[in-house]
Amino acid sequence: MYALKIPLKEAEKIKNILIENNLLDFNRMIDVNKEYIFFPVLDYKNKLLKKYEIIEHNLKIKEKKQNAKQKLFSILNKDEINNLKTAFDIIGDIAIIEIDDNLKNKEKIIAKAILDTHKNIKTIVKKSGIHDGQFRTQKTIHILGEEKKISLYKENNIKLKVDVDNVYFSPRLSTERKRIMQQVKKGENILVMFSGVAPYPIVLSKNTQANSILGIELNPQAHNLGLENLKLNKIKNVILINGDVKDIIMRLDQKFDRILMPLPKTADDFLDSAFKVSKKNTIIHFYDFLSEDNFKEAYDKIEKACKKNGFEYKIQSTNKCGQHAPYVFRICVDFILTKESTKQ
């Protein structure tokens, strides 16, 4: 068995060359002594290795396949590991990773480690900003694998076509969708404000005995994917409307049993609209971004809007359903209207 014999001081540089050129054999162990490091290489005849010494050396076969994290820990140095964000979102076969500025020159290596260790992932893109603008979209930049931005995602017995650049979608909310779905009772008429590519409407339709679900979404690309997703899941009791929640609600003469408001940044702007289509016993799921010691702000917004619209209410539960930023949570306050409005 052979190995590439490299003086220790050149180890980091050569390791990067091997990885970048797909020459490092990840299935065998690297060996070191006081002066040299011995790399297992996939192709010892490769031109790039001509100027280095190749010797007979026994390099052990790795017993267990490494996961991406283990692989990266053997590839990156200490500082780089400290800057590494190991959590990433997977939407279908696209992985969305975050690359710290000081790791920019290692992004392909990081992407390759993920591709090599996740058979289900075909494309790696990186976030190039935060969720932004009225449509709450987030741009990404392709790094490795198939060049595509649309993928098929699965959760809670449903399939969704998602465009990672042009619509909002978060796989991290699948548990929250399940939480809501488990509350829905037979025959409910449900309004999903800000329906996006229709994850909530489709999860609720597929997994509950709701009577009807109406979704309203402003972003035409998200709305169109939502319509495709209804067909993909053979959904019959969901209607999706493309438009502004405030305008569309003015034209509705229906009251709902349950209203979802998954726009945490500005949901309180839409509470008056929600109350226009609410009645006694309507349950509202109100989302907000708040730090742990500020949850009261959400209760205050609900209290103020209920008072203004003549409703009495009872808070049923407050649920943390994700982390938005350090110490800031995405929360959902579930509340029920306990009496008809005195102002309708």
Site for ligand SAM, rule CB under 6 A: 134-136, 168-169, 173, 194-196, 199-200, 216-219, 222, 244-245, 262-263
For 136-164, the DSSP string reads TB--EEEEEES--SEEEEEETTEEEEEET
Least Cβ distance, residue 133 to ligand SAM (angstroms) = 8
Least Cβ distance, residue 69 to ligand SAM (angstroms) = 28
Least Cβ distance, residue 109 to ligand SAM (angstroms) = 32
Q: Which is nearer to ligand SAM, 68 or 216 (CB)?
A: 216
Q: Which is nearer to ligand SAM, 103 or 195 (CB)?
A: 195
Q: Which is nearer to ligand SAM, 112 or 136 (CB)?
A: 136
Residue of this chain nearest to ligand SAM (CB atom): 196
Q: Which is nearer to ligand SAM, 48 or 150 (CB)?
A: 150
Q: Which is nearer to ligand SAM, 39 or 270 (CB)?
A: 270
Q: Which is nearer to ligand SAM, 23 or 263 (CB)?
A: 263
Query: Angle 140-326-321 (CA atoms, 0-180°, nearest 5)?
Result: 80
Q: What is the dihedral of CA 312, 316, 322, 328, to 10 degrees?
A: 60
Q: Which is nearer to ligand SAM, 188 or 217 (CB)?
A: 217
Contacts 24+ apart (CB under 8 A), 181-189: 181/156, 181/207, 181/208, 183/258, 183/283, 183/334, 184/208, 184/209, 184/210, 184/258, 185/209, 185/257, 186/210, 187/211, 188/257, 188/258, 189/213, 189/214, 189/254, 189/255, 189/256, 189/257, 189/258
Least Cβ distance, residue 290 to ligand SAM (angstroms) = 15
Close Cβ partners of 111 (under 8 Å, ≥ 6 residues apart)? 97, 124, 126, 143, 144, 145
Least Cβ distance, residue 168 to ligand SAM (angstroms) = 4
Least Cβ distance, residue 222 to ligand SAM (angstroms) = 5
For 190-259, the DSSP string reads EEEES-TTSHHHHHHHHHS--SEEEEEES-HHHHHHHHHHHHHTT--SEEEEES-HHHHHHT-----SEE
Least Cβ distance, residue 192 to ligand SAM (angstroms) = 7
